[in-house]
Amino acid sequence: MANIKCVPTAEYDAVVAAAGKYVEGLYQGKAEVVAEAFHKDAIMYGFTTDGLLEGPISNLYDFVKENGAAPNIKTHIDVLAITPTTAVVRIDMENDAIGADYNDYLTFLKQDGKWQAIAKVFHMFDK
């Protein structure tokens, strides 16, 4: 039986950096920076205080454009699982642009040497 580490630590760093683009875009209020973290065909599903929000990741970009920067945002990024080509990340988030708190779960794929989220599933907590 081989005892080989299949995912170098550098890949964890690359996934965290990709997720960090999402967080940085929220902080700056720049949808184009948020978009760097996501595949062009990414989807999002989750619960807000108004119910289920579902559809293309452009819903997230619209939110950022509408609500602007989140200078007081606090986040913590955890890589929950990783393989050479897939990863699941949890982002614990407090105080976004509208003052809301979330748990985000991003599913990443590595294609052509680049990590990008293909799906965002989230839960928004009551204020």
Does some domain include residue 3?
no
pLDDT at 27 over 90: yes
Task: Tell me whether residue 76 is in a domain.
Answer: yes
Provide the domain count of the chain: 1
Average pLDDT of the residues in 59-78: 98
CATH number of the CATH domain containing 118: 3.10.450.50
Q: Which domain holds residue 100?
A: 9-125
Q: 108, 18 in Cβ contact below 8 A?
A: yes
pLDDT band at 4 (very low <50, low <70, confident <90, very high): confident
* Domain assignment of residue 14, yes or no: yes
Is 109 among the domain residues? yes
- 4 lies in some domain: no
Give the three-class secondary structure for 115.
strand
In a domain, 65, yes or no: yes
On whether residue 1 sits in a domain, the answer given is: no
Say yes or no to pLDDT of 95 above 80: yes
> What pLDDT, on the 0 to 100 scale, is given for residue 5?
82
Residues 87, 81 contacting (CB under 8 angstroms): yes
What is the average per-residue pLDDT within 12-40? 98
**DSSP-assigned letter for residue 95:** S
Residue 38 lies in a domain: yes
CA dist., res. 31 & res. 20, Å (int): 14
For residue 61, pLDDT over 90 is answered with yes
